[in-house]
Structure formats: C-alpha cells, structure tokens
Structure 1
Amino acid sequence: MMKTLKLVLTSITTVALLFAGDESRIGTSGGGQVLVPVGARGIALAGSERVYSSGLESIYWNPAGLARNENPTVLASNMSLFNDMGVNYFGVSSKLEKIGSIGFTVKTIDMGDIPTTTVTDMDGEGGGTYTPTLSTFGLTYANSFSDRAYFGITGKVIYESIPRVSASAFALDIGVQYTGLAGVEGLGLALVLNNLGTDLHYTGSGLTDQATPDDGPSDFFNREASYDELPSTFNMALSYQVAGATLGMTYTSHNFQYDELNLGAEYALMDMFYLRGGMTTPMLEDESSNTDETLFGLNFGAGLKYSLYGANLVVDYTMRNQSDNFNASNVFSLGIVF
C-alpha cells in the first residue's frame, strides 16, 4: 500500500510541475463553472482545509476525504451568487466493504431568465427569455492506504448549453490526504489536482448561418467554435489539529490566473457546535496590472451536528463576503449520515 501511495504522490507532484499562475490567460479558459465552490464548511474555510475534510462536501475540495465516511450519507447545499443567480449541489455516498467509498454528485448553476436578443431586437424587448444550463456530474471513488493515508479520484462530466448550442467535457480530480506528517500528531498534508480533462467545444445548429457568395447560390455554413482548456488547479495543503481546533493553509496554483493562498480555522465544541472563518489572498506578480484586492473577502460560518432517530443531522451556514459591489453570498448545507 505504501508503494502505491508513493506512486500516487510522485504522479501528482510531477503533473503539478506543469502548473504556474499566469494572469495573462485570465478569461481564456472554458468551463469556468468548475471553479464555483460548494459546501458551507469548505467555503467558510476559503478552501484552506483539505486534509481533514470528509464526506460528500470534501469531494469538491479533495476527493480523498470521501474515504473517511463510514456510513451512507446524503448532502444538499445551496449558495446565492449575484442577483438571482444560485448554485445547487446534491450528493449521495456509501462505503462498500472491501471495495471503498463511492459517491455521486450533481452541481447546477441557476442563472435565471435572460432576455433573448436578436439582430433586429438587440435590447431584448420582444419578451422572450432563455435559461442557460450549467451542470457538473461526478462519480467518486475513494479508499484508504492505511489509518493515516487516503486517496480519491473523481470523474466528472461538465455540460453547458444555451438554445441550439451546447458543449461538454470530461475531467478528473485526484487527491490524497496524509496525517501524522513528520511524526507530528495532528499535522497533515494534502495534494489535489483538479479539472484535468478534455477541451470544451461548442456545437449545434445555433452556429449555422446562411450566406450568398458573389459567384454562387445561397448556402449554409458552420461557424467553428474554439476548443478551450478547462481551468485546472494544483492545491498543496497543510492542516494542524489541536484541542478541538483545525488550522488550514492551502496554496492553489492556477493555469489560467494568478495563484492564491487560502487560510482558515475551525473550532469544534463537544463535536457538536462549529465556528469557522477563512480568507483568500491573491499571489500577484510584481508586474501585475491588478491591485491586491480580491472579489471575496473574509468568510464566516457555523455548523451543528445533532443525533436524531439514529442518524446524524449536520447543518452548516456560511456568509461569503463579495467586495463592496455585491451582496454577501449565503451558503446553506444539510447533510444526513445514516
């Protein structure tokens, strides 16, 4: 098992060497929906804690955390974004004896109704609307190498569409968790690669147009859409647990924007009440044209775990601050561990 763990760690580290923050590529990737986070706990901690994260919520942050779940689990989460936009997340998981843990998740982004515009109605005053579809479907497998080491992998399908045009891509998330780092009890390391996959490419009748050349009859032709890479990330995390507190730090390397440093802390009281906070700091280059401001500020959250009729009910809430231009996001999560 330890040889397998070393192979996984070596593979992740090798691929990670290909990553480097490049803010000159901001806005040029496809499938940006994969970067929208889920789960009240992880968002409260600003994605800083990927070592001890567990269960269905951890699938987004580190799929290895699913291996920590011993019982069947159901999770539902909702996050408000800007205006009437929202994010919904649902998952189910179970641990199969001698096989490992299996989880299925669905994330959808609701963008509301958008006025339909045309060449003759550029202001969209005709009354027609459309609703884009942004969805991610994931299947996760996770298992333990030992009582200190966990591994997980998620295969996911990213799907997007607007009327008469759609695109899809396939991607992998791969993660490991290791505790007892350097023989220090409570100290742990996590490595996670996210969104390694195929390019996103739009096709459909909406890209078909009609034209009449100077020397021939009218005919139809297709506009070829670009092939856009997914925004992959490499995350290296350290966490330390002591006296009911968990301190987390994650360095996130992006291939389509500047890198980030995420810091967070959680305090658990009687394994029942939880208080959380976290923040993200952009690691800007010296010649960066951006300021040191970030869209998201400090996050604050709380959680409650309560036994009810033989099952554990887990309720989490987070307030995610979004600069001065937008209202704060509210994130709710409800989980049942049977």
Structure 2
Amino acid sequence: MKKIYFFALASLLWAGAYAGNPDRQGEAGATQLLMNPWAPSAGLHTLNTSYVSGVEAMRLNPAGVSRFAGTQVMLGYANYLQGADISMQAAGVTSKLGKNGALGFSVMSLDFGDIAVTTTEQPEGTGAQLNLSFINVGLTYSHRFENKVSVGITLRGVSEASSDVSSFGFAIDAGVQYVTGEYEEFKFGLSLRNLGSRMSYGGQALATTAPNPDQSADYNLTLQQRAASFEMPSVLNIGASYDFLGAIENQRVTLMANFTANSFSRDELGAGLEYAFREQFTARLGYRTDLDAAAGSEGTFADESPLYNGLSAGVGVKVPLRRGDLSRSFSIDYAFRNTRIYNGTHNIGISLGF
C-alpha cells in the first residue's frame, strides 16, 4: 500500500506539472521563489531533490524536513550575481513533531542595494532611494512512513512591494522521497513547487492624472491603472541518488542526477557528486544545463543563454557539540555557482542541530 500511495502521489504531481500551457514561457513573476539561499544545496546546483533534509528541504523538497533527526536552525546569506549589489538572506527552523512528523518555518528576503529614484523631470535622480521589499515565508509539515517513504507540503506567502506599489500571493509546494537498499543507499525524490494564486500589483504608483471631460470643471481626474496579473514559476523536480559506501571506512560518495521541468522557462538537467568524510567534512560539485538552449548556437541570442553556465562547487564542515554525536552539531558551509554575467553567486550558511 505504501508503494501504491507513493506512485499515486508521484503521478498526481507529474500531471499537475504539465497541466499548464508551454506557450506561456517567460510570463511568470515572483522569480524570488526560484532562488536558493542555502549553501549546502547551492553547492550542488540544487540537484539533491532525492535526499535533501532539514531546513533547506523547505526550498527544494518539503518531504525531506522529516528526515532530519531532531531540531535544526539554519541561517543563509548569498551574494547574488556578485557586482550587481543584490543579496539574499534566509532563516529557518525545523523540529520533530511526534514520532514521524516534523514542522518547519522559513523566511527569505532580497536586498537590492541602493537604487536612486528617478523621474522624467529629474532623470539623474531625486535624491531619494527606492525602498523595495521582496520576501516569502513558508510553513511546512512533513511525515515519514517507517523511514522508506516521506511526504511533505509547504504553504508559502509571497510579497513584493515598494513604498507605493505592492503585490501578494500564496503558493503551495509538495514533495515525496523514497529510500531503499540494504544500507538505504538508493534514494528517489519528486517535488512540485510554486503552485499558487495569480498575483498583480496595485497601489498609488499606478495612479495617473487625466483631463476632466467636463469642460466647465477646473480640476483634473485621478485614474487608477489596472496592472496585468501574472503567475508564479511552477517547477517539477525529479531526482535520484546513490550512496557508494564501504569502499573506504568512514567515507561516503553520493552520485546524483536531477531533471527540472519549468513551466515558464526551459527544462534543466544536471548531475552532482558529494564526498563526505565521517559526515564532518563535505565537498560538493554539480553541473546543470538548460535543455535546447546551447549558448551561442545558431538562432540563439546571447541574452537567451542560461544565467548559470553549468558549474557549482561547495564545501562544508560539521563540528559535533558532543564527542561522537553528530545529532548535536554546528555546521558552516560555502558554495559558488558560476554565471554567464557578473562574477557568480556566493552562498554561505551556518546551522545548528540538536
């Protein structure tokens, strides 16, 4: 019955991902939902759908939240496209709930640096700074069935606003992970993310002044412009991984592959490798490419090439707070993702597990 439930959920998620119209590519908004502020998974180019766990699972596959034994607190920071003066900040916490359940809460925001306010009358700037607030908050519940199958769902609120215009919407993420093998070395994961309400902007910035049609009136009218609505960037992730164990004592090598179906952009395919020594030192390497979008190919414009040109790498160090007990530990991780423009994206994060 568990296998039946697993494949039924997988089929449901697959069908939901392809319910949209592929002709709408490039029309989605709220792209902050596609950014990854967590360093461990960023070092793998977010390819670890099959075995991601704890706080960062809320960003990729909520089924992994219940696979972290205990409570985890994580902070993340990313210098997005170094040189663009954009950064990501994130914080999250997960905790066990009962024997097999877990709850998680996360918040992520974007900082766009100093942006001068300009007008048609003052194109060089008014002296004021544009106040932008992009933030999303998620609440996750995950449940594990005797360690073989875990499922999870995240409810997320998305807000994008400036001082005089704003937009708000809700999104849902759902996922499943399956573990098998004598040493639980084979893992499979599937997640569907960013299914939600349409969003649209409103506020005083959309007001405009027009002449009064009443010629006898000596005042103008203020009209409210209606902004077009947009959808969130729904994404389907399908991933698998295999742990090579036992060749050398206290060492693990995990090979993974991941396919991402984007409803509003090109699909992606990637593979990664993670090496761990005693689960205290970890090195990560990933490669991801957009399908049907070879940069520089005939008929392809430069700005249609993938932003991330393939490679990512990362390292992590975990220090046990009690000798021999990694369930209580402090970790620090770093990741770098190479980009076609600017100088790449740098992630750094710290976490505490207990």
Query: Which TM-score applies when normalising by structure 1?
Result: 0.92
C-alpha distance after superposition, 1:168-225 (max 9, x if no partner):
11001111001227x9952221111010000111111221122114445421211001
Partner residue of 1:226? 228
Equivalent pairs, count: 333
Partner residue of 1:330? 346
Contact 1:21 1:259 in 2 (8 A): no
Partner residue of 2:248? none
Partner residue of 2:255? 247
Q: Which amino acid aligns with 1:195?
A: N
Contact 1:21 1:254 in 2 (8 A): no
**How far apart in 1 are the matches of 2:345 and 2:235?**
23
Alignment of 1:1-338 (within 5 A): 2=2, 3-18=4-19, 25-26=25-26, 28-82=27-81, 83-98=84-99, 100-124=101-125, 126-180=126-180, 186-216=185-215, 217=217, 218-243=220-245, 244-284=252-292, 289-290=300-301, 293-296=305-308, 297-308=310-321, 311-323=328-340, 325-338=341-354
**How far apart in 1 are the matches of 2:299 and 2:65?**
38
Aligned sequence identity (%):
31
Contact 1:21 1:258 in 2 (8 A): no
**How far apart in 2 are the matches of 1:29 and 1:13?**
20
**How far apart in 1 are the matches of 2:291 and 2:271?**
13
Aligned-pair RMSD on alpha carbons?
Answer: 2.2
* Alpha carbons of structure 1 residues 318 and 285: separation in structure 2 relative to 1, 3 Å: closer
**Secondary structure of 2:48 counterpart:** coil
Aligned-pair distance for 1:290? 4.6
Q: Tell me which moved more, 8-17 or 61-70.
A: 8-17
* Alpha carbons of structure 1 residues 245 and 258: separation in structure 2 relative to 1, 3 Å: same
Aligned-pair distance for 1:288? 6.3
Gapped runs of 5+ residues in structure 2? 246-251
Contact 1:111 1:131 in 2 (8 A): no
**How far apart in 2 are the matches of 1:213 and 1:62?**
55
**How far apart in 2 are the matches of 1:185 and 1:136?**
34
**Secondary structure of 2:9 counterpart:** helix
**Secondary structure of 2:201 counterpart:** strand
**How far apart in 2 are the matches of 1:58 and 1:290?**
35
**How far apart in 1 are the matches of 2:226 and 2:64?**
41
Contact 2:14 2:236 in 1 (8 A): no
* Alpha carbons of structure 1 residues 204 and 99: separation in structure 2 relative to 1, 3 Å: farther
**How far apart in 1 are the matches of 2:14 and 2:134?**
31
Query: Which TM-score applies when normalising by structure 2?
Result: 0.88
Contact 1:56 1:73 in 2 (8 A): yes
